[in-house]
Amino acid sequence: MDNQTLRETSERIDELLDELAQSAVPAVMERVEELLRDVMSMYGAGLDRALEIARDAGGDALVRQVADDEVIGNLLVLHGLHPVDVQTRVQAALDQVRPYLGSHAGGVELLGVDAEGVAHLKLEGSCDGCASSALTVQNAIEDAILVAAPDVVAVEAEGMVDPGPALLQIQPFRSREESAEHASSAWQHLDLDVPPRTLAQVPLGGALLAVANLDGTLVAYLDRCPVCGEELSRGSLAADVLTCGCGQGFDARRAGRATDDSGVSPMVPVPLLPEHGGWKAAVPQGAVA
């Protein structure tokens, strides 16, 4: 069972319990809930014992390795057995996406996780007000936290551009259940082979991406020039500048903004993050190349 199947199974259990609560007599529902508590207790005890065996066999390092598995980690969180506290897991998730945020001239700071399970973040320097880039930054952070810390119920992020007035103010992110649904439909796995200093067209669902390798850093954009509408992947890449066939240049490292002062719209960035030796990307909803 992979992590997505686990989420779907959990959602299905919730649906069945809701249906039973509406149709079953109270006495029956009480017995169902008692049964579930006993089953959860039994599996929790088994997981606890498995961690003890792992610790005896390989110490804390082996326990951490087991807990780093997404499926096992989610189950450990469910039973309150995860060996790493939630704040440390959220910080590790942010460290994972920090190189991606750098391409948007931004940073992120974890202010803390409160007793209600809400992670409080502070975003800085997000893309000079580019709405599409701000959205991809939010999606990347949200997905990373969802995977690493499913016990976080919401993320509140205050954003600011420095210097200048506050420009990005993200409302509380979706709930964990809504985030899981969004992540399962938006994020897709990619196998990429793009050599350094080259540009490639990569299909993803119904969209096409222009993926650039900036000396080891991969960045992705919708494969459509905001000026002429042609495919960006047909253009050229020199250093960090992607130049479309129409002659317009864009800074591929800094969220796709135009390299001149013409005021044209930037390229549309697409979140691209490492995943189990490969990559995953999320195309903005409704976007086609």
Return all residues near 111 (Cβ < 8 A) that are at least 6 apart. Answer: 120, 121, 122
Return all residues near 89 (Cβ < 8 A) that are at least 6 apart. Answer: 82, 148, 149
User: Is residue 288 in a domain?
Assistant: no
| Together in a domain, 197 and 258 | yes
| Together in a domain, 100 and 68 | no
| Together in a domain, 183 and 96 | yes
Report pLDDT for 1: 60
> How far, CA to CA in Å, does 174 sit from each of 64, 154, 167, 171?
28, 6, 21, 9
- Cβ proximity of 78 and 71 under 8 Å: no
145-185 pLDDT, tens digit per residue, is 877 888 887 888 776 444 333 333 333 444 444 444 444 44
Report the mean per-residue pLDDT for the chain: 78
| Together in a domain, 15 and 34 | yes
> Which one, of 137, 110, 122, 126, lies nearest residue 168 by Cα?
126
| Together in a domain, 210 and 267 | yes
Better-scored residue on pLDDT, 168 or 278? 278
Residue 257: which H helix or E strand, with range? strand 257-258
Report pLDDT for 255: 76
Among the three residues 187, 218, 249, which one is the final residue of a domain in this structure? 187
104-150 pLDDT, tens digit per residue, is 656 778 888 888 888 888 877 654 445 555 666 777 787 788 778 88
236-245 pLDDT, tens digit per residue, is 999 889 999 9
CATH number at residue 127: 3.30.300.130
- Cβ proximity of 173 and 157 under 8 Å: yes
Percent of the chain whose pLDDT exceeds 70: 78
pTM summary value: 0.54
Q: How many domains does the chain have?
A: 3
- Cβ proximity of 94 and 108 under 8 Å: yes
Residue 153 sits in which domain range?
86-187
| Together in a domain, 278 and 230 | yes
Rounded to 5 degrees, what are φ and ψ at 223? -80, 65
> In this structure, what token pair is assigned to residue 59?
């110490």
Residue type, position 30, single letter = E
